[in-house]
Amino acid sequence: MIPLSVNWSHVWLVTGVGFIMVFILLVVLTWLMQWSGKLFSKIEEKKKVAASKPVKQDAPAVDSVNEEEATDADMAAIAMALHLYYNSVHDVEPTRITIKRVENKGSAWNNKMFGMNNLHR
């Protein structure tokens, strides 16, 4: 029997390099996450600034109708749309559950003949 000799200097070198690499990668990943967070917050800020700029309107917008200008036909259309939306959500289905019993004792699910370790031919 040959005794195994361990070169402890190599063991400590590999262990030290491994620990140092893990900590360096953690610092780099932390830096990347902070950088990407700052980048995305600047992009969102630019979107908010672009959205908050006033848009010059030549004609009045369609959705700027006052409540006084809404006619009875408009109110009836809205009421009918809400009625159809809230009352037609589900289909009418029977609540009876039926279970069929099948007398097939030789299904492929529990048959040992189809096992993966079948070595007999």
Which pLDDT score is estimated for 73?
86
pLDDT along the chain (121 residues), means of 10: 76 95 97 94 87 68 59 86 77 71 66 63 56
Which pLDDT score is estimated for 16?
96
Which pLDDT score is estimated for 92?
66
Q: For the chain, which residues make up each domain, given as ranges?
A: 13-52
Which pLDDT score is estimated for 71?
83
Q: How far apart are the first and last CA of the chain?
A: 45
Which pLDDT score is estimated for 96?
76
Backbone angles phi, psi at 31, to 5 degrees: -65, -45
Contact (CB, 8 A) for 82 and 88: no
Place of tokens 């408009």: 74
Which pLDDT score is estimated for 76?
87
